[in-house]
Amino acid sequence: MRFASPSGEGCLHRYRRGLGGILTRCSQKFFSVPYDVDMTRGDDRFDIVTLVVRAREGDIASFEALVDEYERKLLRFAWRALGDRQDAEDVVQDTLVKAWRSLDALTEPAAFGTWIYRMASNRCTDVLRRRTARPSDASDPDDLGHHVDGTASVERSVEARTALEHFSEVLQTLSSEQRVTWVLHQMEGLSYAEVAETLGISEGSVRGRIHRARTAIAEGMEGWV
């Protein structure tokens, strides 16, 4: 799909081509998550359905096993969506508590992963909306745990930090829905269909949000090309 820009050049093409260097570096630093996640771990390591069924029967050990499987994945997602460690941890804690209390509402135990991600996504959206009402709460890169490699030159360090700060500001301009959707697709690697299922919206809505997010990022970072 090609997105037309006022200049006539495809915006997505410009996004991929023009921002290739500095945006990639910014993304890697901005989203270098302080939570170790073993990406080789998948639901096949556990019988998720059995754990959910047992947890619904009040088996705390089974729910703790579900927490072990999903907690850091949720922390990684929330931190990427919010850019603030404390907010991310609060969101995940609230999500897990709500999940424990609401297990009976989950009609399909096999859908536990999508269900709990939707809870976390909704909480992240709420936090981002509150920030919109208080712009001063925008994340400071120092709060994100970003550190430039000590072996880098001073000039590169300054450039990287400045670019990172600007990238952070650009992300703050995205709507809460756009940012959460963009993180799920771009950073968590979910397909359009998976994002749609997670957020409870249509695939067309997902594509629209991603389109607008990419356009905003491309325009916001244009001065860094």
Domain 1-32+163-225 has CATH 3.30.750.24: no
Burial of 138 (0-12, 13-18, 19+ CB in 10 A): middle
Model confidence at 8: pLDDT above 50: no
Model confidence at 200: pLDDT above 80: yes
Length of the chain: 225
The per-residue pLDDT for range 116-127, each reduced to its tens digit, is 999 999 999 999
Task: Report the 10 Å Cβ neighbour count for 219.
Answer: 16
Of the pLDDT bands very low, low, confident and very high (cuts 50, 70, 90), residue 136 is: very low
The domain locations on the chain are: 1-32+163-225, 35-145
Burial of 168 (0-12, 13-18, 19+ CB in 10 A): buried
Asked which of 66-80, 150-164, 172-186 is least confident by mean pLDDT, the reply is: 150-164
**Whole-model pTM?**
0.69
Pick the CATH number of 35-145 from 1.10.3710.10, 3.90.1010.10, 1.25.40.10, 1.10.1740.10: 1.10.1740.10
